[in-house]
Amino acid sequence: MGMQSDIKLIDENGLRIDGRKPDELRPIKIEVGVLNRADGSAYIEWGGNKILAAVYGPREAFPKHTQNPSRAIVNARYNMAAFSVDERKRPGPDRRAVEISKVISEALEASIFVEQFPRTSIDVYIEVLQADAGTRIAGLTAASVALADAGIPMKDLVVGCAAGKVDGKIVLDLNKEEDNYGEADLPLAIIPRTQEIVLMQMDGNMTREEVREAIEMAKKAALFISNLQKEALRAKYEKGEIQKTEENSNEGVNKGE
Amino acid sequence: MSKGSDEIVYGLKRDYLEKISSKGTRIDGRSAIEYRPIVITPNYVIRAEGSADVKLGKTRVLVGVKMEPGEPFPDTPNQGVLTTNAELIPMASPTFEAGPPNEDSIELARVVDRSIRESKMIDLEKLVITPGEKVWIVYVDIHVLDYDGNLIDASQFGAVAALLNTTVPGSRYGMEDFPLPINHVPVITTFAKIGKQLFVDPSLEEEEVSSARLSIATDENGNIVAMQKGLSGSFTQEEVYSAIDKSIEIGKDIRKRLFGR
């Protein structure tokens, strides 16, 4: 936030540098079950972001002292590939990644029925392969789909979006330039079914009214993205059903011959 | 105590606190928007460029500021550098362990850092020695001495108090001393959610049974400069709006009371 620049981020027609309207999302594509070994996985392309999420578990929590006798622990690990950003990122978790991992873990845990899996851990790995602003929310959105793919019981799919302030205007889903040179960024994630807010951060400078406008805008977008998550899951599992039926009928045909 | 009896005591305590909090009552008799007594001793450590000892109820945090010349970041060649670090030392609580920073101390440091950075509290552009080559690095170190809840607010008040009495140690490097240039005074207010109620400045007992946490930093214009939601519980939109409104009011009061601004 707040780096000085001469770039005009919103033109005279009210359009943003990538041509979007203030409340317009970048294109989002979600795929389910993209990895073989993981218990659940998902891939998301969100603007220029390319992010993989994998879920392992529930499995015995290790080391043992981390086990909770009444519920599962949720461990999300947000990691950026060294080549995912313009300037090579030194591999391994930095302080930013540790904080993001923490808030993502907490947001996912808010939706998971953790009390059903005492002494276990549910491990969520989020790998940012290509970054283009908004990676924590895109990663969280994919992670939640991966949890569903792993068959983990949840209140609902956690989903989010960011809104912020650019050239004095509240805009949705900031891109890299807007994130760098804008005035505020507010990532938000919700549980759509209950409308609870499970992740919220903010940096920059906004009035009370602007914060309200940003939260409202991000929430509305999150509800829309929630449908994309469900469609992605249906695309895998409905297709799976059709294939199975086809296989069965083929078997029948073969036997008949 | 065995883990089993711990669980039972925890359960009983949570039930009790949730019961009284549903009526808006707190275990120590405070109102929902009332802080514990805050005592700040500035210039506690004379070796530091600036420092403050903060007592927030029974929580105690010492914040020290050290400065030295160093290289600017490549993307901000004409600005000083702010670095914030927090240590949860084992002395402060039986639950703290020695060792490298963990996610709790990292989050604490980053939330305090964000309030200072995003409010533009320090005029970093006045901390340039040779443009593009040499600037002042401001190290804010948060030392938690006694943990009885709400480390975020205690640490943030301490960091602000310490920065407000920081002198840039120019004479040590053949230049002149000058007071650290300050533009704004951010104040953080942290809320804990117990049951369905929000309370500011949670004590340790209250933190232990709270489901979610929300910290909001405001500046003297009543603008929001940073927010952080924590823990695995959730907030409704109305709760967030109400917390923001309260944080603006409380921030105003604390800024005046503690920092005279």
Could you tell me if residue B23 is inside a domain?
A: no
Helix ranges (H only) for B168-209 are: 204-209
Compare CB distances from A106 to B223, B232, B244 and report the shortest one's residue.
B232
Could you tell me if residue B228 is inside a domain?
A: yes
Could you tell me if residue B12 is inside a domain?
A: no
ipTM of predicted assembly, 2 dp: 0.83
CATH (domain of B88): 3.30.230.70
pLDDT tens-digit map of A151-193: 999 999 999 999 999 999 999 999 999 999 999 999 999 999 9
Question: Percent of chain B beyond pLDDT 70?
Answer: 97
State in Å, rounded, how far the first CA of chain A is from the last one.
69
Run of H or E including B164: helix B151-164
Whether residue B103 and residue A207 make contact (CB cut-off 8 A), yes or no, is no
Higher pLDDT: A106 or B98? It is: A106
Residue A256 — very low, low, confident or very high, per pLDDT cuts 50/70/90? Answer: very low
CA distance B63 to chain A (A): 20
Q: The domain containing residue B93 runs over which residues?
A: 36-259
B-proximal residues of A, 156-185, CB under 8 Å: none
Q: CA angle at residue A236 from A101 to A104, to 5 degrees?
A: 10
State the DSSP code for B170.
Answer: G
Could you tell me if residue B27 is inside a domain?
A: no
In sequence order, the 6+-apart residues with CB closer than 8 A to the CB of A129 are A50, A51, A52, A81, A84
Whether residue A200 and residue B118 make contact (CB cut-off 8 A), yes or no, is no
Residue A82 — very low, low, confident or very high, per pLDDT cuts 50/70/90? Answer: confident
Q: Roughly what angle, to the nearest 10 degrees, separates helices A95-109 and A135-149?
A: 40
Tell which residue, B125, B122, B121, has the closest CA to residue B78: B125
* Torsional class of B93: left (φ above 0), alpha (ψ -120 to 50), beta (otherwise): beta
- Residue B179 has φ and ψ, to the nearest 5°, of -65, 145
Dist CA A180 CA A170 (whole Å): 15
Q: How many CB atoms lie within 10 A of CB B45?
A: 17
Tell which residue, A108, A105, A106, has the closest CA to residue A154: A108
**Burial call A112-122: b when 16+ CB within 10 Å, e when fewer:** bebeebebbbb
A96 vs B: CB within 8 A: yes
- Number of domains making up chain B: 1
CA distance B172 to chain A (A): 31
Place of tokens 């604490």: B108
Look up the CATH number of domain A28-256. 3.30.230.70
